[in-house]
Structure 1
Amino acid sequence: MKYSWNVASEVMRLSPPSQGFFREAMTDFTYNGFSIQKGCKIFWNAYATHRDHRFFPEPQKFDPSRFEGSGPAPYAYVPFGGGPRICPGKDFARLEILVFMHHLVRRFSWEKLIPDEKIVNIPMANPEKGLPIRLFPHEA
Protein backbone atom coordinates (compact mmCIF):
# COMPACT_ATOMS: atom_id res chain seq x y z
CA MET A 1 0.00 0.00 0.00
CA LYS A 2 3.04 2.23 -0.31
CA TYR A 3 1.77 3.89 -3.51
CA SER A 4 -1.69 4.37 -1.98
CA TRP A 5 -0.10 6.21 0.95
CA ASN A 6 1.94 8.33 -1.50
CA VAL A 7 -1.34 9.31 -3.20
CA ALA A 8 -2.98 10.14 0.15
CA SER A 9 0.10 12.13 1.21
CA GLU A 10 0.02 14.16 -2.00
CA VAL A 11 -3.69 14.88 -1.47
CA MET A 12 -2.91 16.10 2.07
CA ARG A 13 -0.04 18.20 0.72
CA LEU A 14 -2.37 19.98 -1.69
CA SER A 15 -5.23 20.24 0.81
CA PRO A 16 -3.83 19.93 4.35
CA PRO A 17 -6.20 18.61 7.03
CA SER A 18 -5.09 21.51 9.23
CA GLN A 19 -4.41 24.98 7.87
CA GLY A 20 -1.60 25.60 10.35
CA PHE A 21 -0.66 25.99 13.98
CA PHE A 22 -0.17 28.78 16.48
CA ARG A 23 3.08 28.96 18.41
CA GLU A 24 4.53 31.43 20.88
CA ALA A 25 7.87 33.13 20.17
CA MET A 26 10.37 32.01 22.82
CA THR A 27 12.85 34.83 22.07
CA ASP A 28 12.97 38.12 20.17
CA PHE A 29 13.97 37.65 16.53
CA THR A 30 13.73 39.19 13.08
CA TYR A 31 12.14 37.40 10.14
CA ASN A 32 11.92 38.86 6.64
CA GLY A 33 12.53 42.32 8.05
CA PHE A 34 9.83 42.00 10.72
CA SER A 35 10.73 42.18 14.41
CA ILE A 36 8.98 39.49 16.43
CA GLN A 37 9.00 39.91 20.19
CA LYS A 38 9.17 37.14 22.75
CA GLY A 39 5.64 36.07 23.71
CA CYS A 40 4.00 37.01 20.39
CA LYS A 41 1.65 34.43 18.90
CA ILE A 42 2.79 33.25 15.48
CA PHE A 43 0.66 31.36 12.97
CA TRP A 44 2.51 28.91 10.76
CA ASN A 45 0.61 28.17 7.52
CA ALA A 46 0.77 24.54 6.33
CA TYR A 47 -0.87 25.40 3.00
CA ALA A 48 1.91 27.83 2.08
CA THR A 49 4.67 25.50 3.32
CA HIS A 50 3.32 22.60 1.27
CA ARG A 51 3.47 24.78 -1.85
CA ASP A 52 7.00 26.08 -1.35
CA HIS A 53 8.84 25.50 -4.63
CA ARG A 54 12.13 25.06 -2.75
CA PHE A 55 10.80 21.80 -1.29
CA PHE A 56 8.21 20.81 -3.89
CA PRO A 57 9.13 21.51 -7.54
CA GLU A 58 5.99 22.35 -9.53
CA PRO A 59 4.00 22.69 -6.29
CA GLN A 60 0.56 22.89 -7.99
CA LYS A 61 1.11 19.58 -9.83
CA PHE A 62 -0.31 16.36 -8.35
CA ASP A 63 2.71 14.04 -8.10
CA PRO A 64 2.62 11.13 -5.61
CA SER A 65 6.23 10.23 -6.51
CA ARG A 66 7.35 13.15 -4.28
CA PHE A 67 6.95 10.77 -1.35
CA GLU A 68 9.16 7.96 -2.70
CA GLY A 69 12.53 7.30 -1.09
CA SER A 70 13.26 9.63 1.81
CA GLY A 71 10.41 11.99 0.79
CA PRO A 72 10.32 15.74 1.48
CA ALA A 73 12.74 17.57 3.76
CA PRO A 74 11.95 17.48 7.49
CA TYR A 75 9.12 19.88 8.43
CA ALA A 76 8.42 20.75 4.77
CA TYR A 77 5.41 18.39 4.83
CA VAL A 78 3.49 18.28 8.09
CA PRO A 79 -0.23 17.48 7.68
CA PHE A 80 -0.26 16.11 11.24
CA GLY A 81 2.12 18.65 12.75
CA GLY A 82 5.60 17.66 13.84
CA GLY A 83 8.04 17.34 16.68
CA PRO A 84 6.77 16.87 20.24
CA ARG A 85 3.30 18.16 19.30
CA ILE A 86 2.68 15.80 16.39
CA CYS A 87 -0.90 14.49 16.25
CA PRO A 88 -1.18 11.39 18.46
CA GLY A 89 -3.78 9.98 16.04
CA LYS A 90 -1.46 10.12 13.02
CA ASP A 91 -1.01 6.35 12.70
CA PHE A 92 -4.71 5.67 13.25
CA ALA A 93 -5.59 8.30 10.62
CA ARG A 94 -3.17 6.66 8.19
CA LEU A 95 -4.80 3.27 8.73
CA GLU A 96 -8.30 4.74 8.33
CA ILE A 97 -7.33 6.57 5.13
CA LEU A 98 -5.77 3.47 3.56
CA VAL A 99 -8.69 1.18 4.47
CA PHE A 100 -11.19 3.74 3.14
CA MET A 101 -9.25 4.15 -0.14
CA HIS A 102 -8.99 0.38 -0.56
CA HIS A 103 -12.73 -0.18 -0.18
CA LEU A 104 -13.67 2.84 -2.28
CA VAL A 105 -11.47 1.81 -5.22
CA ARG A 106 -12.21 -1.92 -5.03
CA ARG A 107 -15.98 -1.64 -4.62
CA PHE A 108 -17.04 1.45 -6.54
CA SER A 109 -16.72 3.54 -9.65
CA TRP A 110 -17.90 7.13 -9.38
CA GLU A 111 -18.79 10.16 -11.40
CA LYS A 112 -19.01 13.79 -10.42
CA LEU A 113 -22.55 15.09 -10.64
CA ILE A 114 -21.34 18.66 -11.24
CA PRO A 115 -18.36 18.20 -13.62
CA ASP A 116 -17.01 21.77 -13.54
CA GLU A 117 -17.74 22.56 -9.89
CA LYS A 118 -15.67 25.47 -8.55
CA ILE A 119 -13.47 25.28 -5.46
CA VAL A 120 -13.99 27.96 -2.80
CA ASN A 121 -11.71 28.75 0.16
CA ILE A 122 -13.65 29.35 3.39
CA PRO A 123 -10.85 29.16 4.87
CA MET A 124 -10.15 25.62 3.69
CA ALA A 125 -10.58 24.65 0.05
CA ASN A 126 -14.07 23.24 -0.44
CA PRO A 127 -16.13 22.38 -3.50
CA GLU A 128 -18.76 25.07 -3.99
CA LYS A 129 -21.68 22.61 -4.01
CA GLY A 130 -20.15 19.97 -1.71
CA LEU A 131 -18.83 17.70 -4.53
CA PRO A 132 -21.84 15.42 -4.90
CA ILE A 133 -20.97 12.09 -6.47
CA ARG A 134 -22.88 8.98 -7.48
CA LEU A 135 -21.36 5.61 -6.47
CA PHE A 136 -21.77 2.53 -8.64
CA PRO A 137 -20.92 -0.94 -7.28
CA HIS A 138 -18.40 -2.81 -9.42
CA GLU A 139 -19.86 -5.78 -11.20
CA ALA A 140 -18.75 -9.02 -9.55
Structure 2
Amino acid sequence: MEIAKSKKPGELLNWDDIQKMKYSWNVAGEVMRLSPPLQGAFREATNGFIFSGFFIPQDWKPEKFDPSRFEGNGPLPYSYVQFGGGPRMCPGKEYARMEILVFMHNVVKRFKWEKLLPDEKIIVNPMPIPAKGLPVRLLPHNAFLFYFFICTEFL
Protein backbone atom coordinates (compact mmCIF):
# COMPACT_ATOMS: atom_id res chain seq x y z
CA MET A 1 0.00 0.00 0.00
CA GLU A 2 3.00 2.29 0.53
CA ILE A 3 3.65 2.34 -3.21
CA ALA A 4 -0.05 2.76 -4.02
CA LYS A 5 -0.26 5.78 -1.71
CA SER A 6 2.79 7.36 -3.37
CA LYS A 7 1.14 7.31 -6.81
CA LYS A 8 -1.03 10.06 -8.25
CA PRO A 9 -4.47 9.03 -9.56
CA GLY A 10 -3.98 7.12 -12.82
CA GLU A 11 -0.18 6.93 -12.42
CA LEU A 12 1.16 3.49 -13.31
CA LEU A 13 3.86 1.44 -11.63
CA ASN A 14 7.41 1.83 -12.92
CA TRP A 15 10.46 -0.45 -12.69
CA ASP A 16 11.69 1.21 -9.48
CA ASP A 17 8.31 0.52 -7.84
CA ILE A 18 8.54 -3.14 -8.83
CA GLN A 19 12.03 -3.41 -7.30
CA LYS A 20 10.71 -2.01 -3.99
CA MET A 21 7.97 -4.66 -3.71
CA LYS A 22 10.14 -7.08 -1.71
CA TYR A 23 7.48 -8.19 0.77
CA SER A 24 4.94 -8.71 -2.03
CA TRP A 25 7.48 -10.92 -3.81
CA ASN A 26 8.04 -12.85 -0.56
CA VAL A 27 4.27 -13.44 -0.40
CA ALA A 28 4.24 -14.60 -4.04
CA GLY A 29 7.18 -16.94 -3.35
CA GLU A 30 5.39 -18.44 -0.36
CA VAL A 31 2.21 -18.95 -2.40
CA MET A 32 4.22 -20.73 -5.11
CA ARG A 33 6.01 -22.80 -2.46
CA LEU A 34 2.74 -24.01 -0.93
CA SER A 35 0.89 -24.39 -4.22
CA PRO A 36 3.53 -24.83 -6.92
CA PRO A 37 2.59 -24.10 -10.53
CA LEU A 38 4.04 -27.46 -11.67
CA GLN A 39 2.70 -30.80 -10.56
CA GLY A 40 5.12 -32.80 -8.46
CA ALA A 41 7.08 -29.82 -7.16
CA PHE A 42 5.61 -29.99 -3.64
CA ARG A 43 7.37 -31.91 -0.88
CA GLU A 44 6.13 -34.54 1.57
CA ALA A 45 8.32 -36.62 3.85
CA THR A 46 7.91 -40.26 2.81
CA ASN A 47 9.92 -41.45 5.83
CA GLY A 48 10.68 -39.91 9.21
CA PHE A 49 14.24 -38.54 9.50
CA ILE A 50 16.47 -36.17 11.48
CA PHE A 51 17.81 -33.05 9.75
CA SER A 52 20.16 -30.66 11.57
CA GLY A 53 18.94 -32.00 14.90
CA PHE A 54 15.21 -31.64 14.02
CA PHE A 55 12.96 -34.67 13.63
CA ILE A 56 10.81 -34.56 10.48
CA PRO A 57 7.95 -37.09 10.83
CA GLN A 58 6.66 -39.29 8.01
CA ASP A 59 3.89 -37.64 5.91
CA TRP A 60 4.88 -34.14 7.13
CA LYS A 61 4.21 -31.35 4.61
CA PRO A 62 5.24 -27.69 4.91
CA GLU A 63 1.84 -26.01 5.24
CA LYS A 64 2.49 -22.92 7.36
CA PHE A 65 2.18 -19.70 5.33
CA ASP A 66 5.25 -17.66 6.27
CA PRO A 67 6.54 -15.07 3.74
CA SER A 68 9.33 -14.11 6.17
CA ARG A 69 11.22 -17.28 5.18
CA PHE A 70 12.24 -15.33 2.04
CA GLU A 71 13.65 -12.30 3.90
CA GLY A 72 17.37 -11.57 3.93
CA ASN A 73 19.21 -14.24 1.98
CA GLY A 74 16.06 -16.39 1.89
CA PRO A 75 16.18 -20.17 1.65
CA LEU A 76 19.49 -21.92 1.06
CA PRO A 77 20.58 -21.86 -2.59
CA TYR A 78 18.74 -24.49 -4.66
CA SER A 79 16.57 -25.60 -1.71
CA TYR A 80 13.60 -23.86 -3.34
CA VAL A 81 13.76 -22.82 -6.98
CA GLN A 82 10.34 -21.91 -8.33
CA PHE A 83 11.86 -20.80 -11.65
CA GLY A 84 14.69 -23.34 -11.80
CA GLY A 85 18.31 -22.47 -11.29
CA GLY A 86 21.66 -22.20 -12.98
CA PRO A 87 21.79 -22.70 -16.75
CA ARG A 88 18.24 -24.13 -16.75
CA MET A 89 16.65 -21.11 -15.07
CA CYS A 90 13.42 -20.00 -16.71
CA PRO A 91 14.20 -17.19 -19.19
CA GLY A 92 10.85 -15.58 -18.37
CA LYS A 93 11.52 -15.33 -14.62
CA GLU A 94 11.76 -11.53 -14.47
CA TYR A 95 8.77 -11.09 -16.77
CA ALA A 96 6.71 -13.48 -14.60
CA ARG A 97 7.89 -11.64 -11.47
CA MET A 98 6.81 -8.30 -12.94
CA GLU A 99 3.39 -9.67 -14.02
CA ILE A 100 2.74 -11.23 -10.60
CA LEU A 101 3.68 -8.06 -8.73
CA VAL A 102 1.68 -5.74 -11.00
CA PHE A 103 -1.36 -8.01 -10.65
CA MET A 104 -1.00 -8.17 -6.86
CA HIS A 105 -0.57 -4.39 -6.64
CA ASN A 106 -3.71 -3.70 -8.66
CA VAL A 107 -5.87 -6.21 -6.80
CA VAL A 108 -4.77 -4.92 -3.38
CA LYS A 109 -5.08 -1.29 -4.44
CA ARG A 110 -8.54 -1.61 -5.95
CA PHE A 111 -10.32 -4.29 -3.92
CA LYS A 112 -10.97 -5.55 -0.43
CA TRP A 113 -11.24 -9.36 -0.30
CA GLU A 114 -13.80 -11.21 1.72
CA LYS A 115 -13.52 -15.01 2.01
CA LEU A 116 -16.97 -16.51 1.79
CA LEU A 117 -15.87 -19.79 3.46
CA PRO A 118 -13.33 -18.75 6.15
CA ASP A 119 -12.63 -22.33 7.34
CA GLU A 120 -12.46 -23.96 3.90
CA LYS A 121 -10.32 -27.11 3.87
CA ILE A 122 -7.39 -27.70 1.52
CA ILE A 123 -7.35 -31.00 -0.35
CA VAL A 124 -4.35 -32.50 -2.14
CA ASN A 125 -5.32 -34.38 -5.30
CA PRO A 126 -2.52 -34.27 -6.56
CA MET A 127 -2.02 -30.52 -6.05
CA PRO A 128 -3.14 -28.59 -2.95
CA ILE A 129 -6.39 -26.77 -3.78
CA PRO A 130 -9.27 -25.30 -1.76
CA ALA A 131 -12.05 -27.91 -1.40
CA LYS A 132 -14.79 -25.50 -2.57
CA GLY A 133 -12.72 -23.42 -5.02
CA LEU A 134 -12.00 -20.53 -2.59
CA PRO A 135 -15.04 -18.34 -3.28
CA VAL A 136 -14.32 -14.70 -2.47
CA ARG A 137 -16.22 -11.45 -2.73
CA LEU A 138 -14.24 -8.55 -4.17
CA LEU A 139 -15.44 -5.24 -2.85
CA PRO A 140 -14.10 -2.19 -4.67
CA HIS A 141 -12.46 0.37 -2.39
CA ASN A 142 -14.36 3.08 -4.20
CA ALA A 143 -17.67 1.75 -5.55
CA PHE A 144 -18.45 4.92 -7.53
CA LEU A 145 -15.15 4.84 -9.43
CA PHE A 146 -15.53 1.10 -10.04
CA TYR A 147 -19.07 1.63 -11.41
CA PHE A 148 -17.86 4.54 -13.56
CA PHE A 149 -14.98 2.43 -14.92
CA ILE A 150 -17.26 -0.49 -15.79
CA CYS A 151 -19.85 1.79 -17.45
CA THR A 152 -17.31 3.74 -19.52
CA GLU A 153 -15.48 0.55 -20.55
CA PHE A 154 -18.39 -0.37 -22.81
CA LEU A 155 -18.97 3.05 -24.40
Fold conserved (TM > 0.5)? yes
Q: 1:4 aligns with which of 24, 40, 59?
A: 24
TM-score by length of 2: 0.62
Size of the alignment, in residue pairs?
111
Q: Which amino acid aligns with 2:32?
A: M
Structure-2 change in CA distance of 1:61 and 1:54 (3 Å):
farther
2:73 equivalent to 1:78: no
Q: Which has the higher helix share?
A: 2
Hey, what's the Cα distance between the residues in 2 that align with 1:90 and 1:76? 17
Q: Residue by residue, what CA displacement relative to the aligned partner does 1:20-45 show, whole Å, maximum 9, x if unpaired?
A: 4xxxxxxxxxxxxxxxxxxxxxxxxx
Q: Which has the higher strand share?
A: 1
Q: 1:19 aligns with which of 39, 52, 58?
A: 39
Structure 1 residue ranges, 4+ long, deviating more than 6 angstroms after superposition: none
Q: Which amino acid aligns with 1:2?
A: K
Q: Which amino acid aligns with 2:127?
A: M
TM-score by length of 1: 0.68
What residue number does 1:100 align with?
103
Q: Which has the larger radius of gyration?
A: 2
**Superposition deviation, residue 118 in structure 1:** 1.8
Q: What does 1:36-115 align with in structure 2 at a 5 Å threshold?
A: 46-48=41-43, 59-115=62-118
**Superposition deviation, residue 54 in structure 1:** 5.4
- Structure 1: segments with no counterpart, 5+ residues: 21-45
Q: Tell me, what secondary structure is at the counterpart of 1:123?
A: coil
What residue number does 2:3 align with?
none
- Structure 2: segments with no counterpart, 5+ residues: 1-20, 45-49, 55-61, 146-155
Structure-2 change in CA distance of 1:54 and 1:5 (3 Å):
farther
